[in-house]
Amino acid sequence: MFEHLKVLPQDPILQLMQSFRDDPRPDKVDLGVGVYRDATGNTPIMGAVHKAARRLLEHEKTKSYVGPAGSPGFNSAVTELLLGGDNPLSRDNRVSTIQTPGGCGALRMAAEFIKLCKPDAAVWVSTPTWANHMPLLGGAGLRIQSYPYLNSETLEVDFDDMMAALEMARKGDVVLLHGCCHNPSGADLTASQWAGITDLILRKELLPFVDMAYQGLGDGLEEDAQGLRHLAQAAPEMLVAASCSKNFGLYRERTGALMLISGNAKSQKAANSQLLSIIRAHYSMPPAHGAGLVETILQDDELRREWQAELSGMRDRIQQLRHAFSRELASSGDFDFIARQKGMFSFIGISEKQVNYLRAHHGIYLLESSRINIAGLSDKTLPRVAAAIREAVASA
Ligand code: PLP
């Protein structure tokens, strides 16, 4: 039965990671990786996470099943992070949040849920978007449509083109938006653009779906949720996929959540029961450990303060690197956008040939699209990487 199967080509990101590992040059630099790195190149376990893990170990009394929705304490803490405390949607019982295996689990379960509600709905995704959106959403059988997002000349959001394309969406289609720190471009919507897109979604009766994978890594925990909150208070229905991989550094613990907002408490109850039944049919219930850590942190004032301070430190480090990098590149063109953009990623707008030049001549690894992970830089490597890019731009 398996004999006719062919070996698939390796995922380009995994291939890049492999080439980096195989490269013997001691001063090689990995800017392709999709995880936060500190100044020493490590992806650290946050101090608050360490402490929460010790507490969990001491106080956990059972390893019994958690149920398809996961931990209620985690779910309400994440709802508060996303929507703010004491929000009207929670008061009106129009919202429920369920724990999922990472943001990916939330995206896929949302896709299955959309498929159940409206099998012919198209999901509109930005060009570019995170490559995994396609298999996660398309794999559920949904039709994917794309809307232009990034202007390839200015590397800023092409809002007029985006809005013009979304005018083509049909009633009931789904619009996927990155809550903050757009991956892969780092170019985010402004408050007035969020207001514009909210009006369009309401007028055309579309379903907003926000992917919030980097809350706290752009401008701050509250600031990064403003667009999402604006949409949530206006739209009758909405989906949000949230990830705790980056802002809690819990990548391998697979910790995320899917938030569902319905028009009223009655339809919310029905929608939630359908979603839980979908989950039961896929993975039955989510893993408990990562969510236990997040819940422990968010429910304890001291740990929460420590976590927020560590998250601010990560955000400040990224912002400082962004400013220093755009200054260092200034003599080779306009790279100011790098300082304006948010989160870990930016396209630096160089050609595939120049990307290959950096790898061949300097052991600097980035994706062919020219996406770099800013957190992969350090004060030590930044001047050398900038000099190599200047050289690549001049010669390749
Ligand atoms: N959404 C975006 C835009 C991402 O970049 C990622 C991870 O890189 C995710 C969702 C999913 O994250 P995870 O499944 O690791 O929580």
CB-ligand 1 contact for 213 (6 Å cutoff): yes
Determine whether domain 65-299 maps to CATH 3.40.50.300: no
Ligand 1 atom nearest residue 106's Cα: 14
Tell me how crowded residue 283 is: count the other CB atoms within 10 A of its CB: 14
pLDDT digits (tens, 9 = 90+) for 153-202: 889 999 999 999 999 999 999 999 999 999 999 999 999 999 999 999 99
Is 51 known to be catalytic? no
Q: Choosing from 48, 51, 69, 130, which is the catalytic residue?
A: 130
pLDDT at 13: 83
Kindly state if the Cβ of 248 falls inside 6 Å of ligand 1: no
> What fold characterizes domain 12-45+308-395?
Aspartate Aminotransferase, domain 1 (3.90.1150)
How does 245-272 read in b/e, with b if 16+ C-beta sit within 10 Å?
bbbbbbbebbbbbbbbbbeeeeebeebb
Q: How confident is the model at residue 11 (pLDDT cuts 50, 70, 90)?
A: confident
Average pLDDT over residues 130-146: 96
> Rounded mean pLDDT of 358-363?
96
- Residue 51 has phi, psi (to 5 degrees) of -65, -40
Q: Find out whether the beta carbon of 34 lies less than 6 Å from any atom of ligand 1.
A: yes
Could you identify the residue written with the tokens 């949720």?
225
User: Of all residues in the chain, what percent carry a pLDDT higher than 70?
Assistant: 100
**Looking at 77, 110, 213, 225, which residue is catalytic?**
213
| 130 is annotated as an active-site residue | yes
Check pLDDT > 80 for residue 396: no
Spell out a b/e string for 158-194, using b for 16 or more CB atoms within 10 Å of the CB, else e. bbeebbebbeebeeebbbbbbbbbbbbbbbbbeeeeb
What average pLDDT does this structure show over 146-153? 95
What ranges do the domains of the chain cover?
12-45+308-395, 65-299
- CA nearest ligand 1 atom 6, residue: 213
Return the ligand 1 atom nearest residue 255 CA. Answer: 16
d(CA 87, CA 83): 7
Model pLDDT, residue 202: 98
Confidence of residue 384 (pLDDT cuts 50, 70, 90): very high
Q: Are 210 and 179 in contact (CB under 8 A)?
A: yes
Percentages of the chain per state (helix, strand, coil), in multiples of 5: 50, 15, 40
396 C-alpha to ligand 1 centroid (Å): 33
User: Which atom, in ligand 1's list, is nearest to the CA of 245?
Assistant: 16
153/270: higher pLDDT: 270
211 is catalytic: yes
- Residue 331, pLDDT score: 84
- C-beta of 243 in contact with ligand 1 (< 6 A): yes
pLDDT for 333: 81
DSSP letters along 195-242, please? HHHHHHHHHHTPEEEEEES-TTSSS-TTGGGHHHHHHHHH-SSEEEEE
- 110 among known catalytic residues: no
291-323: pLDDT as tens digits: 999 999 999 999 999 999 999 999 999 999 999
Question: How much is the mean pLDDT over the chain?
Answer: 96
Mean pLDDT along residues 126-145: 96
Question: Is 220 in contact with 187 (CB distance < 8 Å)?
Answer: no
Of 158, 173, 188, 211, the catalytic one is 211
Q: Is the CB of 214 under 6 A from ligand 1?
A: no
Q: Report whether residue 253 contacts ligand 1, using a CB cutoff of 6 Å.
A: no
Q: Measure 393 CA to ligand 1 centroid, in angstroms.
A: 31
The length of the chain is 396
Pair of tokens at residue 17: 């990671």
* pLDDT of 141: 96
Write the residue with the smallest CA distance to atom 4 of ligand 1. 213
